[in-house]
Amino acid sequence: MKYIKLLMISLLLLTGCSSKSDTLNKYDATTTTSGFDTFIKLIAYTKDKDEFDNYFEQLKKGFIYYNQLFDKYNDYKGITNVKTINDNAGIKPVKVNKELINMIELSKEYYELTNHQFDITLGPVLNLWHDAREQGIKANEEGKETTVPSIEALQLAKQIDGYDLIEINKKESTVFLNKEGASIDVGAIAKGYAAEQVAIKLEKNGLKHAIINAGGNVRIIGSKPSSDAWSVGIEIPNKKSMTSDSLASIHSSKSSSFVTSGDYQRYYLHEGKMMHHIIDPSTLQPARHARSVTVICENSGIGDALSTSLFTMSYEDGIKLIDTLKKQGIQVDAVWLYDKNVPAPSGVKTHKVLDYDIVITDGLKDIITFN
Ligand code: AMP
Ligand code: MG
């Protein structure tokens, strides 16, 4: 709940001032009970409130469904999910919904594209960090400190890793983790994937002008009715006040997504360092290349996978990855955020806002304003 509140106050949608356009009216609603441990907000222009409510119901249903499907901690009646797959590691194949197989295959593409930096099979390592973080957050709240997982434990956990562990049988629609102790964690892609599927469904059902904000994971549906752009802010890390101020705003009037991975989103403090939730598979430690990376691209699932991927690699490797994707026809832009603790790479053009150095890809030059 505390996490939800934090995200609520860091809501960064700058939605403009017009509330009416011809026959369409602007409505918004927020749910904190549709999963993903976060708030989900819909802002949309519709004919009337009933129409809006109908879309909002569809949105809630969609997020609840995907949250259950991708959950690795809880069982749900009648649903075979990521937890079921993990529970059956080394035991037996599990019959799953095709969407889960699609997601595992999409994740594999990014595993390969990122030279294994994006790795949903890293479950055993991520579990160690998850447990340490839960204890650490609690201890920090009481003014105390706990520990970090030992290198030995992390290296042992890393031995059960890699896509060789996943056997997919498409005909039978089954997934089998072929080694005891193997586990997958789709936390880096699940929310974006869900946002994309929900947005596609709402668009199909007639919604033309809307914006979904799933805990900072933003998916735009069309322009505003006036054809004006929506503006999406780049969040200030560790912002303390309840302001909607942001470091920069990106303006877009076409269906697109904005996904941020940052060290400030989930962390505990240990010996003055932020022990956060995105782990660099090459060091088995929280990644320290940037304070945050925001990815702007069409598909929110890809955006989510990419923001986590870029966060785990150097700026130079990130640029190379973006170039590779461009060659495949996937348009990707990104915003990297640095500060004195995590400095920007030398020789790269930066924009200074407050105490931060911002680096952007060329594609954003004309659609970004620095605050
Ligand atoms: P995101 O906030 O989208 O960047 O995703 C962070 C979540 O992804 C974490 O809470 C973990 O569940 C998972 N994760 C952390 N590190 C990695 C990694 N290197 N590859 C894939 N998933 C990761
Ligand atoms: Mg992600």
Q: Is 161 in the pocket of ligand 1 (CB under 6 A)?
A: no
Q: What is the pLDDT of residue 8?
A: 46
Report pLDDT digits (tens) over 121-132: 999 999 999 999
Q: Are 82 and 66 in contact (CB under 8 A)?
A: no
How do residues 197-216 score in pLDDT, each as one tens digit? Answer: 999 999 999 999 999 999 98
pLDDT tens for residues 235-247?
Answer: 999 876 656 689 9
- Whether ligand 1 lies within 6 angstroms of the CB of 7 is answered as no
Average pLDDT over residues 140-145: 96
Nearest one of 192, 194, 226, 191 to 15, comparing CA atoms:
226
Token duo for residue 345: 């790479």
* Span 150-195, pLDDT tens digits: 999 999 999 999 999 999 999 999 999 999 999 999 999 999 999 9
Residue of 126, 184, 266, 294 best suited for mutating to test ligand 1, as the one with most atoms within 8 Å of CB: 126
Reply yes or no on whether the pLDDT at 11 is more than 90: no
Residue-wise pLDDT tens digits, 339-369:
999 999 999 999 999 999 999 999 999 999 9
Residue-wise DSSP of 153-204: HHHHHHTS-SGGGEEEETTTTEEEE-STT-----TTTHHHHHHHHHHHHHHH
Q: How far is CA 360 from CA 31, 216, 238, 316, 369, in A?
A: 32, 19, 21, 13, 11
Chain mean pLDDT for the chain? 93
For residue range 185-196, what is the model confidence (pLDDT) as tens digits? 999 999 999 999
Which residues on adjacent β-strands are paired with residue 332? 297
Residue 199, judged by CB atoms within 10 A of its CB (0-12, 13-18, 19+), counts as buried
Helix residue ranges per DSSP H, 215-314:
300-311
Name the more confident of 242 and 10. Answer: 242
- Residue 297: which residues within 8 A CB-CB, separation 6 or more? 256, 257, 303, 306, 330, 331, 332, 333
Q: Which residue has the tokens 């809006």?
A: 52
What pLDDT does residue 78 have? 93
CA dist., res. 41 & res. 247, Å (int): 21
Query: How far from 326 is each of 293, 297, 321, 322, CA to CA, in Å?
Result: 18, 11, 9, 6
Average pLDDT over residues 12-36: 74
Question: Tokens representing 278?
Answer: 């995105």
Characterize the bridge pairing of strands 13-14 and 267-270: unpaired
Res. 9 pLDDT band, cuts 50 70 90? very low
| Residues with Cβ within 8 Å of residue 54, at least 6 apart in sequence | none
**Considering the entire predicted model, what is its pTM?**
0.93
pLDDT value of position 6: 44
Residue 135 corresponds to which tokens in the numbers above?
A: 């204890």
Which residue is closest in CA terms to ligand 1's atom 23? 188
Chain centroid, CA 26 distance in Å: 26
Distance 56 CA to ligand 2 centre (A): 24
Q: Report the residue among 115, 184, 267, 278 best suited for mutation to probe ligand 1: largest number of ligand atoms under 8 A from its CB.
A: 278
| Ligand 1 pocket residue status of 295, Cβ below 6 Å | no
pLDDT digits (tens, 9 = 90+) for 322-345: 999 999 999 999 999 999 999 999
List, edge to edge, every strand of the sheet that includes 332-338: 20-21, 24-31, 40-46, 210-214, 217-221, 256-262, 292-297, 332-338, 356-360, 351-353
